[in-house]
Amino acid sequence: MIIIKSPQEIEILRESNRIVAQVLASLKEAIRPGVSTKELDRLAEKLTRQKGAIPAFKGYHGYPATLCVSVNEEIIHGIPGPRRLREGDLVSLDMGVRYRGYYGDAAITLPLGRVSQRAKRLLQVTKGALKRAIEIAVPGNRLSDISHAIQSYAEGKGFSVVREFVGHGIGKKLHEDPQITNYGPPHQGPLLKVGMVLALEPMVNVGSWRAKLLPDGWTAVTADGSLSAHFEHTIAITDDGPLILSRP
């Protein structure tokens, strides 16, 4: 069941997502060659708690950290640890918080120093796919219009979209209905209505769309070892168009 949020609930969701965006902005300033992914995780948790929020991912189905840090061929759910980042890495930072009973969730992918032209293009296309998805999220369109927008944009630029993982509704739970695939035909599924709050998150690969899971049970990587990027915004559907909640 898709839960429609009241204007008051959307304001709280805006606050929780703003905290996520602020923490990600601070992490963006802290990231550099030589820093470990665990150090970034510790900073994320410290900043989250300083803002009066609770890390959403830590303990969720046993996940051990505040932050997901996925590097290069890692698509999603990379567990922070001793790995030190290097010049030329692509680093995805995904995090969520719970604040006043409601969840925020967002992700960015950052180039660390000088990266290849193909990596730069991957980042541009993934951002573009998210932008296109947000533009489609208006009352009267259908859920799969978002999915189709992501797929057609990314594949039209020569990249692939991951199919094993999805966007989702969000509110009093981190993952609510509906699931939002990053592929599919248009004009199908539920109508988009005012008050829906959705976490849109295209995951785009340079090579094959296929993913595989590492032995840690969390980290998903590209099956062919190609680069991957991931961006996520939480939005609310309003009469005036999509409202991006996860802005700093």
Model confidence over 8-61: pLDDT tens digits?
999 999 999 999 999 999 999 999 999 999 999 999 999 999 999 999 999 999
Q: Which fold has domain 7-244?
A: Creatine Amidinohydrolase (3.90.230)
The predicted model scores a pTM of 0.96
Phi, psi dihedral angles at 68 (to 5 degrees) = -100, 125
- What does the mean pLDDT of the chain come to? 97
Band of pLDDT at residue 248, cut at 50, 70 and 90:
confident
Band of pLDDT at residue 77, cut at 50, 70 and 90:
very high
pLDDT (tens digit per residue) in 202-246 = 999 999 999 999 999 999 999 999 999 999 999 999 999 999 999
Beta-carbon contacts of residue 126 (< 8 Å; ≥ 6 apart) = 109, 154, 159, 202, 203, 204, 229, 230, 231
